[in-house]
Amino acid sequence: MKHYRVNKLTRPGGEVVKKKDILADNDRDAIDRARNDDDCPVCEVLQAGEPVAVILHN
């Protein structure tokens, strides 16, 4: 398992409103978990401080 941080943002590239730490087997699992989170309209997924993905729900 790897440690990931999911940051909820005000807008893409915007201010971080909320942070959540998760454990996932790989990047795809972490991205899927962030994508399926109802509290994540605009989020970024980081692993070891490096961006993995940005999630945008319309």
pLDDT, tens digit, 9 for 90 and up, residues 1-58: 999 999 999 999 999 999 999 999 999 999 999 999 988 899 999 999 999 999 998 6
pTM of the full structure: 0.90
What's the pLDDT at 58? 62
What's the pLDDT at 38? 87
Whole-number Cα distances in Å, 46 to 20, 28, 54: 11, 12, 9
What's the pLDDT at 28? 98
Distance CA 26, CA 12 (A): 23
Whole-number Cα distances in Å, 9 to 2, 19, 29: 22, 9, 20
